[in-house]
Structure 1
Amino acid sequence: MGHQISRRTLFRTASGLAVAGGLGGALSACGGGTGAGSTSSELTMTWWGSDDRHAAYKKALASFQKDNPKVKIRETYSGYDGYFDKFNTNIAGGSAPDLLQMDTALVAQYARKGVLAPLDSYVGKSLDLTGFSKTLLAAGTVDGKLYGVPSGIGVNQLTVNRSGLEDLGLKLPDREWTWADLRKISQDVYKKSGGKIHGVDDVGGGSLQAFEIYAREHGETFFSEDGKNVGFSFETLQRWWEYWAEMRKLNACPPPAITSAAHNDLTKNAVVIGKALFTFDIGVYGAGGSVTDAQLDFLPSPQGDWSGAREGNYVNGGVLLSATKSSKRVGDSVKIMSFFAQDETAIKAMQLFRGIPPTEKARDLIASGLSETDKLNMEMADYISKRVSAASDALPTPPAPPQGADQIWDLLFQSNLAIAFGKKSIKAQLGEFFDQAAGILGG
């Protein structure tokens, strides 16, 4: 079931930023295209995903067309690779689809190029967004206007080998745990297993998902608002890398060779190969289901245990549904968006194929048909979502990442690895990281 975003998908998604940015001139020249399905009596809709997602979309759309026989839909779909290349070509040629599945990482660039239609005038009328939180809608909002309806909620969380913990006589930590608690239970795992298993994989030290939460707990963002710099301080990254250096010293996480081997290869993740019980790589239970037979569970990223620590978690929007601005069928596209957001048939057809459903109503509708692990996953996402909504000190949801973000994320991982292997001191790597980051984002 494709219901989470792995680190590999994040990197792949970010690579699309370069694709969109590289076509900036073409997008500016065509102003969003001239056709967008307007020459056909059919409404064109396109999306990417797995075979399961394709089947779910087709089932839901068949139901929509049965109730709306005047809206004829031509469906096109593919995998992610090449999806936005084709979209860009269609825009330049004046044949963009009317309705498309949009990437949250790219919505800002397309909206600012005039490719996407603002949806605000439809909200509360033909577009029913009852149950959608403001923090969730921020994923499709650019410069104060809504350009995409989120399909689900995405959260940063840890995947835990719960059966492995129980085998060692240890309990799953409380959801309101801290970074100190992660260190303690990771040491306990190592001791209880006789040194055979570590607590948490060292992916965390170089993980976007983990460090971004940590930075936000310090009141800092990963990228600056204008995207021209990183938004976190030298001191925060230093404390982060010092935390993971201590974790390695305590054998709370596995040796760097295991971390290196697992980079972009989930089959070698420390939890999957039995060398750790906690991982920040949510892809272990992601597209295609689980890559381990262990009984899994989930936890929020740990909270800050220092004075003044803030809520670091946030909710993103999974994927979006957006309409192209040049389309003459925006009204019909909005009806379809509303159908996927609120219709019981559509919600049950989509299950978790576009992420954890965005509303409590939708989550309740599908809960009974889920596997135990799916239920645990959805329950944790729901818990984090509610906690974020209730937090008065949480920073706003991060904006779409800037061009070059994929390089920064990889730089963070490789920097942590250089420290772990002893190739660089933390102080030396800090200077190198910020110098390289400035070059990437400033270029």
Structure 2
Amino acid sequence: MGHQISRRTLFRTASGLAVAGTLGGALSACGGGTGAGSTSSDLTMIWWGSDDRHAAYKKALASFQKSNPKIKIRETYSGYDGYFDKFNTNIAGGSAPDLLQMDTALVAQYARKGVLAPLDSYVGKTLDLTGFSKTLLAAGTVDGKLYGVPSGIGVNQLTVNRSALEELGLKLPDREWTWADLREIATQVHKKSGGKTHGVDDGGGGTLQAFEVFAREHGETFFSDDGKELGFTSETLQEWWEYWADMRKANASPPPAITSAAHNDLTKNAVVIGKALFTFDSGVYGAGGSITDAQLDFLPTPQGDFSGAREGNFVNGGVLLSATKASKKVADSVKIMDFFAQDETAIKDMQLLRGIPPTEKARNLIASGLTETDKLNMENADYVAQRVSKASNALPAPVPPPQGADQIWDLLFQSNLAVAFGKKSIKAQLGEFFDQAAGILGG
């Protein structure tokens, strides 16, 4: 999983889609449960991730238990596949864990079903969130209450094959670039490479948060606050699809066959296979390292280049740590959350394995031990976070996605692909998209 762990991460695999689809039924059937704390003297904690993340968690938790010998932690960890299926089963059986790593894409659904414990009464007491911005904490906030502590800064950015860009005699664009600048550099890549390489992968549908940034630049959100409607207009989506149609026509972006093949398969990403030099997909470089040997660099999602454009970028919270409401060990779980949030040992142990650290203090603590590419990644995330915090015209952070969000996001991808393959005109696809989206959200 990448450093920039986003709200769409859940939906990258078929198992994620299955989890989202079965979540409502599983929670409706659970009837609350008693929580693991009621049947075990140990505090149970679960998380998903890579082997490196597992090792870092275990090392940090060993340090925590030395300082807190009365809190015995039983650790359970796995990959992402099946993680929430098992969690749902445990909830239904009354054996839910006390503390868990939570996905920002699902926190609202679990919180509203009464599975997660609100944490507000602990903040400023046993839970120190000094240095966490309000926009970051919004990732774990549902209906005004805090249900999860963010692990890090997630930003929407482009990953760039900088070495190949420089070989073509082109320079990395400035961080204050616009969509027009992206069009220009992407067109130049195709020209300078003699037609062998496109500039940027097709963002028309597959790069979900890129469109979300674009909509926010127009003062619109992806979903309405109550999650019952889309928050953007057909005019904005039309402008977006027309931009990418022009990019494909100019060979600034690759043809639809490449875009289709890369859907949910990072090994076929246009940058990874050498068909583009810019990609919106953060998974190309992550906590497990890079899946390409190229020297990478990072840029914010471009800014709007029209009069009145707003700051569209935003900060999300990586993964979260949440406590289950039925647990009898919520107070002890909060102590562990506080440990990961503020303790120097924990911060150094975790490095970037749960995302870019959420506070300036934490980022400074690990900076000297990072690789060059990690430093570039963290610098760009820090740059975006600071710009968002200073922007007077930025919208509030997006609300947690509603049930059905996975279907909407897939519909956006498939709709753009239908236009790209010439199966539908933009006008025809717009009507179909909004009709189907209304049915999904209203169902």
TM-score per shorter chain, which class?
over 0.9
**Pairwise CA distance, 1:286:** 2.4
1:320 aligns with 2:320: yes
| Conserved 8 A contact 1:204-1:211 | yes
Q: What corresponds to 1:68 in structure 2?
A: 68
1:191 aligns with 2:191: yes
The verdict on how the C-alpha distance between 1:169 and 1:35 changes in structure 2, with shifts beyond 3 A counting, is closer
User: What is the one-letter code of the residue matched to 2:370?
Assistant: L
Cα displacement string for residues 102-154 of structure 1 (whole angstroms, at most 9, x for unaligned residues) = 11111111111221111111111111111100000011111111111001111
Cα displacement string for residues 65-112 of structure 1 (whole angstroms, at most 9, x for unaligned residues) = 011111111111111122112212222222211111111111111111
Equivalent residues in 2 for 1:3-22, closer than 5 Å: 3-5=3-5, 9-12=10-13, 13=16, 15-22=18-25
Q: What corresponds to 1:251 in structure 2?
A: 251
The verdict on how the C-alpha distance between 1:332 and 1:109 changes in structure 2, with shifts beyond 3 A counting, is same
Q: What corresponds to 1:102 in structure 2?
A: 102
The verdict on how the C-alpha distance between 1:14 and 1:306 changes in structure 2, with shifts beyond 3 A counting, is farther
User: What is the one-letter code of the residue matched to 1:180?
Assistant: A
Q: What corresponds to 1:419 in structure 2?
A: 419
Q: Give the Cα separation in 2 of the matches to 1:106 and 1:259.
A: 27
Q: What corresponds to 1:306 in structure 2?
A: 306
**Pairwise CA distance, 1:4:** 3.1
User: What is the one-letter code of the residue matched to 1:295?
Assistant: Q
1:83 aligns with 2:83: yes
Q: How many residues align?
A: 440
TM-score, normalising length from structure 1?
0.96
User: What is the one-letter code of the residue matched to 1:94?
Assistant: G
User: What is the one-letter code of the residue matched to 1:379?
Assistant: E
> What SS does the corresponding residue of 1:23 show, helix, strand or coil?
helix
Q: What corresponds to 2:176 in structure 1?
A: 176
| Conserved 8 A contact 2:148-2:320 | yes
**Pairwise CA distance, 1:363:** 0.8
Q: Give the Cα separation in 2 of the matches to 1:24 and 1:38.
A: 19
> What SS does the corresponding residue of 1:59 show, helix, strand or coil?
helix
| Conserved 8 A contact 1:339-1:346 | yes
Q: Give the Cα separation in 1 of the matches to 2:44 and 2:233.
A: 46
**Pairwise CA distance, 1:35:** 3.5
> What SS does the corresponding residue of 2:362 show, helix, strand or coil?
helix
The verdict on how the C-alpha distance between 1:123 and 1:5 changes in structure 2, with shifts beyond 3 A counting, is closer
| Conserved 8 A contact 2:35-2:98 | no
TM-score, normalising length from structure 2?
0.96
Q: What corresponds to 1:407 in structure 2?
A: 407
Q: Give the Cα separation in 2 of the matches to 1:296 and 1:169.
A: 16
> What SS does the corresponding residue of 1:37 show, helix, strand or coil?
helix
Equivalent residues in 2 for 1:11-410, closer than 5 Å: 11-12=12-13, 13=16, 15-27=18-30, 29-30=31-32, 33-410=33-410
> What SS does the corresponding residue of 1:46 show, helix, strand or coil?
strand
> What SS does the corresponding residue of 1:159 show, helix, strand or coil?
strand
Q: Give the Cα separation in 1 of the matches to 2:427 and 2:204.
A: 19
Q: Give the Cα separation in 1 of the matches to 2:5 and 2:273.
A: 20
| Conserved 8 A contact 1:205-1:244 | no
> What SS does the corresponding residue of 1:158 show, helix, strand or coil?
strand
Task: Please give the root-mean-square deviation of Cα atoms over the aligned residues, in Å.
Answer: 1.5
Cα displacement string for residues 48-78 of structure 1 (whole angstroms, at most 9, x for unaligned residues) = 1111111111000000001111111111111
| Conserved 8 A contact 2:205-2:415 | no
Q: Give the Cα separation in 1 of the matches to 2:3 and 2:164.
A: 24
**Pairwise CA distance, 1:305:** 0.5
> What SS does the corresponding residue of 2:38 show, helix, strand or coil?
coil
Q: Give the Cα separation in 2 of the matches to 1:402 and 1:118.
A: 19
**Pairwise CA distance, 1:14:** 5.8
User: What is the one-letter code of the residue matched to 1:393?
Assistant: N
| Conserved 8 A contact 2:140-2:146 | yes
| Conserved 8 A contact 1:2-1:53 | no
**Pairwise CA distance, 1:3:** 2.1
Q: Give the Cα separation in 2 of the matches to 1:256 and 1:40.
A: 53
**Pairwise CA distance, 1:204:** 4.5
Q: What corresponds to 2:433 in structure 1?
A: 433
Q: Percent identity?
A: 85
| Conserved 8 A contact 2:3-2:287 | yes
Q: Give the Cα separation in 2 of the matches to 1:351 and 1:143.
A: 31
| Conserved 8 A contact 1:99-1:321 | yes
The verdict on how the C-alpha distance between 1:14 and 1:374 changes in structure 2, with shifts beyond 3 A counting, is farther
> What SS does the corresponding residue of 2:90 show, helix, strand or coil?
helix
Cα displacement string for residues 7-62 of structure 1 (whole angstroms, at most 9, x for unaligned residues) = 664434565332321223224x22xx224312322111111111111111100000
User: What is the one-letter code of the residue matched to 1:112?
Assistant: R
**Pairwise CA distance, 1:442:** 1.5
User: What is the one-letter code of the residue matched to 1:313?
Assistant: N
User: What is the one-letter code of the residue matched to 2:70?
Assistant: K
Q: Give the Cα separation in 1 of the matches to 2:331 and 2:286.
A: 34
Q: Give the Cα separation in 2 of the matches to 1:14 and 1:156.
A: 22
Q: Give the Cα separation in 2 of the matches to 1:204 and 1:367.
A: 35
Structure 1 unaligned blocks of 5 or more:
none
> What SS does the corresponding residue of 1:20 show, helix, strand or coil?
helix
**Pairwise CA distance, 1:280:** 0.8
| Conserved 8 A contact 1:204-1:280 | no
> What SS does the corresponding residue of 2:214 show, helix, strand or coil?
helix
Q: Give the Cα separation in 2 of the matches to 1:374 and 1:250.
A: 33
Q: Give the Cα separation in 1 of the matches to 2:17 and 2:152.
A: 19
